Amino acid sequence: MKIFGFISIILGIIFSMHTSANPTFSNELLIKAKNGDSSAQLELADVYIHGYGIEEDEVQAESWAMKSAENGNVNAMYWLGDGYAMYAGLVEDTDPIDAEDHYKKAFIWFSKGSELDHIDSMVGLARLYRNGEGVTKNIEQALDLLKKSAARGSKEAMRDMEFMYQYGIGVEQNLDTAKFWEDKAN
């Protein structure tokens, strides 16, 4: 099951920037993860996906990230949602059924993160709503999530709204509104 193959590198880099530099496999990390430490579980997922001090293992990486998310780690929820969405985007032309399945998984994890007010999860969920990926297309819901994220300082959400208004994607094209969001993002 190669869910995080190519995209795992990107996710690992993003995750690594938020945790200790170059996490490495250790028995101490494994013990913490096995004892239910959700931060250690997500760090272990990162270790497995990149092979930091241990052989790369995508199945183990996904399993530990899932445990972390199920233990309430909102960063793991985002990690999974983003991984599933990116994977779906990579295979949608060659395997649309698999892509739709992974977009639905992304929707679940982005939704859970959004319920806990995780800004990046809200942006990810907004994109699924905007594009109708794994969920019925809903521009109003997408804009609502992006506005909430932007109000909390998400430049990514601001740029997404700029793009939507600049090109009339799901909304009436409005260059003044696009400029407003561009200025806020910069």
Q: How confident is the model at residue 2 (pLDDT cuts 50, 70, 90)?
A: low
CA distance 21 to 67: 22
Residue 40, CA distances (Å) to 28, 63, 82, 86, 105 in order: 9, 13, 19, 24, 23
Indicate where the chain has its CATH 1.25.40.10 domain(s): 76-185
Query: Scanning the structure block, which residue is given the tokens 């932007």?
Result: 150
At residue 16, the pLDDT reads 45
Q: What does DSSP assign to residue 37?
A: -
Query: Scanning the structure block, which residue is given the tokens 């892509």?
Result: 99
Say if CB 165 and CB 173 are below 8 A apart.
yes
Q: How confident is the model at residue 17 (pLDDT cuts 50, 70, 90)?
A: very low
Structure tokens of 135? 């969920």
At residue 125, the pLDDT reads 98
pLDDT digits (tens, 9 = 90+) for 27-71: 999 999 999 999 999 999 999 988 999 999 999 999 999 999 999
At residue 23, the pLDDT reads 80
Q: What does DSSP assign to residue 172?
A: -
Domain 76-185 CATH class label? mainly alpha
Q: Which residue has the higher pLDDT, 94 or 50?
A: 94
Please check the confidence at residue 97 and state whether its pLDDT lies above 60. Answer: yes
CA distance 22 to 24: 6
Q: Is 153 exposed, middle or buried (0-12, 13-18, 19+ CB in 10 A)?
A: exposed
Say if CB 40 and CB 46 are below 8 A apart.
no
CA distance 145 to 153: 13
Question: What integer is the mean pLDDT of 155-166?
Answer: 95
Q: Tell me what the pLDDT averaged over the chain comes to.
A: 90
Please check the confidence at residue 88 and state whether its pLDDT lies above 60. Answer: yes
Please check the confidence at residue 159 and state whether its pLDDT lies above 60. Answer: yes
Please check the confidence at residue 99 and state whether its pLDDT lies above 80. Answer: yes
CA distance 173 to 178: 8
